[in-house]
Amino acid sequence: MTVKHFYETFHPGHYDLYIEVNREQKTIKGTTTITGEAIEDSIMVNQKYLTIASVTSEGQEVPFTVDDEKEAIKIDLGKTSKTEVEIKYSAPLTDTMMGIYPSYYTVDGVKKQIIGTQFETTSARQAFPCVDEPEAKATFSLALKYDEHEGETTIANMPEIKVEDGVHYFEKTVRMSSYLIAFAFGELQSKMTETKDGVKVGVFATKAHQAKELDFALDIAKRAIEFYEEFYQTKYPLPHSWQLALPDFSAGAMENWGLITYREAAILLDPDNATADQKAYVATVIAHELAHQWFGDLVTMKWWDDLWLNESFANMMEYVSVDALEPEWHVWDNTYQVSEVPAALNRDATDGVQSVHVEVEHPADIDSIFDSAIVYAKGSRMLVMVRALLGDDALRKGLKYYFDQHKFGNATGDDLWDALSTATDLDIGKIMHTWLDQPGYPVVSAKVDANGHLILTQKQFFAGEGKEVGRKWAIPLNANFVAPQIMSDRELDLGDYSDLRAKAGHALRLNVGNSSHFIVNYDETLMADIIAEVDDLKPVDQLQLLQDLGLLAQGNQISYAEIVPLLPKFADSDSNIVIGALFSAVASLRKFVTPDSDEEKNLKQFTDQLSSKQVERLGWEAKETDTADELQIRPTELSAALYAGNPAVIKAGHQIFVQNEADLIKIEASVRPYVLINEAKNYHSSELIERLVKEYQTAVDPYFKQDLMAAITSTQDKEDLKQIVDNFENNDIIKPQDLRSWYFSVLSNKQGEQLAWDWIRAEWAWLEKTIGGDMEFTSFITVTAKAFHTPARLEEFTTFFEPKIDQPGLGREIQMDTKVIATKADLVTKEQAVVNQKIKEAITK
């Protein structure tokens, strides 16, 4: 179905925006004047929730009709020509975290607000009438008035020119898409610096925060801009780059050109008490949004079907840039391989998943393609393959060409492949279409056949049920022995195995470095050979081995029981990512044991056995001599030991709590969540939970708040949990932006599961009203499926969600999540006995 885009009726060239916000009365009033070219006699301009007072063209009133379903105003100009259209309108100022909206916070007990904006994907139309499509690029001159008082700061995409009669006038923007417009005002503090080429860089936040929390972001932002100018060989084209932390923010961050907005946890850090993970997270978010200033803002996808041009690229560039700025952090291993890769491999294995490139029209469907596992994680994996095939020099040359060709304009995926083709002989477009246009990914089976030949076969991998439809991919093999660079056929005969093995001198492996998007199923001979050398493998290869085995088990290609005896091999590792992969494999066994059963006792004992040595060695307290890996291994081991119920660990954790009772935020950040969780679980009192809730309410540090949330929701007391769920809709305690985490945490607590599940079903209408229409909305369904793995829950899930399947934006999510639960439920039924048997054998050894 082709849907007509409004851009086909009208090409805006310039907007004069006059916007007046009244916080007191909660109203917006405005006049938008658009000069442009009418392509048809009747033009279509977007609006949503606006009350249109008048429409004039060149001074004359013109007939118009408002079509709320199409989120449009149809304006009858009667002729096609260059023209000027003026629209007067008003709108309510609402707390939806979309369009123009207030963010709430408290300083010294006084409630305050900052006004900010969030326009991607289709909410600019809630702030002013516009052709709200990425292709409709224009220049914008913003004039902004509000019920201003002394001491407020007003910022926007461009610098302010003047203030006249209380109206703030901003410089005309460069040619850009409407979804990237932004402004904000309120009582802000800021820190400023400049890049070596004179771009002003600033970080803004409310005055509730300590000034030092802005420093880390400022340093990263400045250096990231300098890095991108060099990498893309294209200058940052605006005079400033502001980073603004907003107390209420639906997504993680938003790349508005020149005024990037963030949720507080994604930008503010206490430099004196931050973990390596927090630093890496904040740095990668900033690097992501700054990558968009080129990929997304300077060159924008023509339509949302090519969203990956924005998001997949920004996602890869996060790691390219942070790795260049802070090589010691090893973000490719420590973050990319640990979070993006498994997210992509898991989600993309479910039948019914969308491809990275996907046709969309309806606004709710546009929001629904911002799937972090697909357009972000899988998409970045696609580009990591491109980068590996081309090399950085060719990639940069191609990108320079791409920016030169399309700057201040729009592009499609094929424009990118054309640009990269100027720098390589590979038919990169052809290879990449197999990955971008098809959902899923292959499992490559490697086996030695009856003639002693090594045979590779590719086939789509499914976790659980999946319909084989004959998909094939052009797979970069990355073999550690003689093999073609790309495998495009279904089957490949690599010749005599003994010869290959002898020449290589080591066990044969594919996808070395885990940089291609496929998994490998080795036959028994090949796997035994790898296991024999497992200690010599690099950490990332060990992590890959565990990840792939877990997936193969989900796909019924091996049994979970085969994984259990391998786990102790990794327990003594000194690599943080191996330990992480180990305990995430151990955690995946939890679904096989029923609470309070002997099996659970066994799993706890097994976990204790795997963690006790390291926990004893590392203890709760960080030491001067700790390596970077040790600092990150410690919390993973402690968390495992707490699950296992290790009495010494429980006691020592309690002591840290007692020592810091007066000032809990001071506890070293990497162990702080576990100190608090330990207390809430093992030294519980209702007063303690009450105190933690109070502390949560007044805490300003976003990471401390996360730790408190984790502790509060880990209580085993049903009464506490009931109270917590009662607070889900009390935004004085839980902000809507944080509700999903709260919900998921209570749902994942066996004592709270039923309460949370009852709540979401009873309050679905409220949730839809409060969070609906937002990218976060469907993720409430995703996390529900993440917590469930029994046939009974599957049935309840289907009963509740199936009737909603035709709702725009929800259908795919519901279908996929139903499958996710069904897969786990099947697996548990089938494998429970053998897995528990293996766990039992592993502990008696």
Residues annotated as binding site for Zn(2+)? Answer: 288, 292, 311
- Least distance between ligand BES and beta carbon 651 (Å): 39
In the set 86, 264, 289, 813, the catalytic residue is: 289
CB-wise, 311 or 541, nearer to Zn ion? 311
Q: Applying CB under 5 A, does 416 fall inside the site for Zn ion?
A: no
Least separation in angstroms between CB 261 and Zn ion: 12
Structure tokens at 103: 């963010």
The per-residue b/e assignment along 712-750, b for 16 or more CB within 10 angstroms, e otherwise, is: bbbbebeebbebbbebbeebebbbbbbbbbbbbbbbebe
**Residue (310 or 636) nearer to ligand BES, CB:** 310
Q: Which of 125, 191, 222, 288 binds ligand BES (CB under 6 A)?
A: 288
Instruction: Name the segment binding Zn ion (CB under 5 A); options: 313-321, 352-360, 421-429, 437-445.
Output: 313-321
How far is Cα 482 from Cα 506, in angstroms, rounded to an integer?
Answer: 12
Total count of residues recorded for the chain: 845
Tell which residue, 333, 343, 351, 417, has the closest CA to residue 374: 343
CA dihedral angle for residue 514, residue 788, residue 812, residue 101, rounded to 10 degrees: -90
Range 410-439, binding ligand BES (CB under 6 A): none
Tokens of 610: 């795997």
Q: Which among ligand BES, Zn ion, none contacts residue 174 (Cβ within 5 to 8 A by kind)?
A: none
From the list Zn ion, ligand BES, none, which binds 252 (C-beta under 5 to 8 Å, kind-based)?
ligand BES
Residues at the annotated binding site? 288, 292, 311
- Dmax over Cα atoms in the chain, in whole Å? 89
Identify which of residues 95 and 148 has a Cβ nearer to ligand BES in the complex. Answer: 95
Select the residue interacting with ligand BES from 159, 252, 791, 808 (CB under 6 A).
252
- What whole-number distance in Å separates Cα of residue 776 and Cα of residue 744? 13
Does 277 participate in binding ligand BES (rule CB under 6 A)? no
Nearer to ligand BES, 265 or 423 (CB): 265
**Which residues, other chains included, contact 534 with Cβ-Cβ below 8 Å and sequence gap of 6+?**
542, 545, 569
Q: Report the distance separating Cα 189 and Cα 152, nearest Å.
A: 10
CB of 515 to ligand BES, least distance (A): 20
User: Out of 254, 290, 671, 688, which residue is the one contacting ligand BES (CB under 6 A)?
Assistant: 254
* Span from 85-93, 210-218, 248-256, 684-692 in contact with ligand BES (CB under 6 A): 248-256
275 binds ligand BES (CB under 6 A): no
Binding mask 107-136 for ligand BES (x = CB under 6 A): -------------xx---------------
Nearer to Zn ion, 314 or 546 (CB): 314
Selected binder of ligand BES within 370, 417, 441, 473 (CB under 6 A): 370
* Residue 534 and residue 572 in contact, taking contact as beta carbons nearer than 8 Å: no
Q: Does 775 bind ligand BES (CB under 6 A)?
A: yes
Which of ligand BES, Zn ion, none interacts with 370 (beta carbon under 5 to 8 A by kind)?
Answer: ligand BES
Stretch of residues binding ligand BES (CB under 6 A), selected from 192-200, 288-296, 414-422, 755-763: 288-296
End-to-end alpha carbon distance in the chain: 62
Q: Around 107, how many Cα atoms within 13 Å sit in the side-chain half-sphere?
A: 14
* 442-448: strand order across its sheet: 491-496, 453-460, 442-448, 519-522
Stretch of residues binding ligand BES (CB under 6 A), selected from 5-13, 287-295, 661-669, 758-766: 287-295
- Name which position in 86, 132, 289, 415 contacts ligand BES (CB under 6 A): 289
* Closest CB 177 distance from ligand BES, rounded Å: 12
Helix extents (H) in 594-646: 598-618, 628-644
% helix, strand, coil for the chain, step of 5: 45, 20, 35
From the list ligand BES, Zn ion, none, pick the one residue 801 interacts with, judged by a Cβ distance below 5 to 8 Å according to partner type. Answer: none
Residues 6 or more apart in contact with residue 498 via CB below 8 angstroms: 452
Pick what 201 binds: ligand BES, Zn ion, none; C-beta below 5 to 8 Å, kind-dependent: none
Cα(311)–Cα(603) distance, integer angstroms: 40
CB of 815: closest distance to Zn ion in angstroms?
26
The span of 104-112, 246-254, 433-441, 525-533 binding ligand BES (CB under 6 A) equals: 246-254
Minimum distance, C-beta of residue 265 to ligand BES, in the bound complex (Å): 11
Closest CA to 519 of 470, 558, 565: 558
Contact partners, residue 255, CB within 8 Å, separation at least 6: 180, 288, 289, 290, 292, 293, 296, 297, 314
How far, in Å, are 70, 99, 211, 461, 516 from residue 354 at the CA level?
25, 28, 43, 15, 19
Candidates 292, 302, 357, 406; binder of ligand BES (CB under 6 A) is 292
289 tagged catalytic: yes
Give min distance, CB of 301 to Zn ion, in A.
12
Give SS3 for 290: helix
Residue 378 interacts with ligand BES (CB under 6 A): yes or no: no
Considering only the stretches 107-115, 251-259, 621-629, 754-762, report the one whose residues sit in contact with ligand BES under the rule CB under 6 A: 251-259
| Residues paired with residue 115 on neighbouring β-strands, in sequence order | 102, 185
- Residue pair 801/526 in contact (Cβ under 8 Å)? The answer is no
CB nearer Zn ion, residue 218 or residue 314: 314
Cβ distance to Zn ion smaller for residue 311 or 367 = 311
Residue 173 DSSP one-character state: P
Rounded Cα–Cα distance for residues 842 and 643 (Å): 18
**For residues 336-395, which are near Zn ion according to CB under 5 A?**
none
Contact flag: residue 314 with Zn ion (CB under 5 A): yes
Total binding residues toward ligand BES, as defined by CB under 6 A: 16
If the CB atoms of residues 48 and 672 are measured against ligand BES, the closer one turns out to be 48
**From the CB of 97, what's the least distance to ligand BES, in Å?**
10
Are 520 and 444 within 8 A, CB to CB? Answer: yes
Residues 310-329 that bind ligand BES (CB under 6 A): 311, 314
| Nearest distance from C-beta of residue 370 to ligand BES, angstroms | 4
Binding segment (CB under 6 A) for ligand BES, from list 31-39, 286-294, 425-433, 650-658: 286-294
Rounded to 5 degrees, what are φ and ψ at 677? -65, -45
Residue nearest to Zn ion (CB): 314
3-state secondary structure 780-806: HHHHHHHHCCCHHHHHHHHHHHHHHCC
Nearer to Zn ion, 72 or 180 (CB): 180
Phi, psi of 197 (to 5 degrees): -95, 10
- Mark the segment that binds ligand BES (CB under 6 A) among 87-95, 282-290, 434-442, 656-664: 282-290
- Would you count residue 253 as binding ligand BES (CB under 6 A)? yes
For residue 169, what are its two tokens? 């006038």
Binding site for Zn ion (CB under 5 A): 311, 314
Residues that bind ligand BES (CB under 6 A): 120-121, 251-255, 285, 288-289, 292, 311, 314, 370, 376, 775
Catalytic amino acids?
A: 289
